[in-house]
Amino acid sequence: MTSASTSSKAIPSHIHVQDVSLNFQLFRQKSTSMKEVFSSLFKKNSYQKLTEFHALDHLSVKIGHGERVGIVGHNGAGKSTLLKTLCRIYEPTTGRIDVQGKVAPLLEIGAGFSPELSGRQNIYLNGAILGCSIKTLKSVEQDIIDFAELEPFIDTPVKYYSTGMYMRLAFAIATAIRPDILILDELFAGADDDFIRKARIRMQSFIDSASIMVFVSHDMALLAELSTRVIWLDHGRLVADGDPQTIIAQYLQHALAESES
């Protein structure tokens, strides 16, 4: 596999999350009846602020060089919010995040892509956003196209791509340029089984040389396979943190108990 490093290997990477809280403002409509709800569509100030919602609640985590950290938790537990906070998409309301190393986020399908540009142009756009030079991108361009299996479509605007095609391209770019820190949310959404198999192999080789990977998945087998450590979040708080087998077993037991109660 051709690859290009954007990293400065001399300094070990790390992520330090220190007592981080992130609050979202929640709004509630003043109106209660259907008639009021309908008429409020045409009025200003028909919403009032209700409360602050703690998506992350005094969270502290230290991730060191060489760790592959999987994050588990029920829907709405704060997993994606944590990843976005690590990537500086969200600023913590309180607390501190200290990240050493170049981060490649693979968060939402299409993020970092320009819909009107072709797949090839987006390799350069996305690669530049991730800190790669044109020269470096030229050296990995063909590898990205081959790995993503997009040769016939590479000069088509990406707005015509399927979710799976977007995902393949984004994954191929992020793993080809080899950042220090790879952050992935529901990695294989929209991909077919053949690509998932291929991507797992590529990820293994990526992981062997990358310093840190943090990823969210509802696929417990994938988490167990790829993680060296698992963090369990609930209501934005840390429930457990440790060995993947132990934490996944605890989490599944808890989920089963919840579903039976």
Which residues of the chain form contacts with ligand ATP (CB under 6 A)? 24, 53, 55, 73, 75-81
In the complex with ligand ATP, which residue's Cβ is closer, 125 or 255?
Answer: 255
Taking the complex as a whole, the smallest distance from the CB of residue 240 to ligand ATP amounts, in Å, to 15
The residue among 211, 218, 182 whose CA lies nearest residue 199 is: 182
Token pair, residue 215, equals 């990823």
Taking the complex as a whole, the smallest distance from the CB of residue 73 to ligand ATP amounts, in Å, to 5
In the complex with ligand ATP, which residue's Cβ is closer, 137 or 182?
Answer: 182
Taking the complex as a whole, the smallest distance from the CB of residue 41 to ligand ATP amounts, in Å, to 21
In the complex with ligand ATP, which residue's Cβ is closer, 144 or 214?
Answer: 214
Given a contact cutoff of 8 angstroms between Cβ atoms, the answer to whether 169 and 122 are in contact is: yes
In the complex with ligand ATP, which residue's Cβ is closer, 27 or 160?
Answer: 27
Taking the complex as a whole, the smallest distance from the CB of residue 149 to ligand ATP amounts, in Å, to 27
Taking the complex as a whole, the smallest distance from the CB of residue 79 to ligand ATP amounts, in Å, to 4
In the complex with ligand ATP, which residue's Cβ is closer, 77 or 214?
Answer: 77
Taking the complex as a whole, the smallest distance from the CB of residue 71 to ligand ATP amounts, in Å, to 8
In the complex with ligand ATP, which residue's Cβ is closer, 78 or 101?
Answer: 78
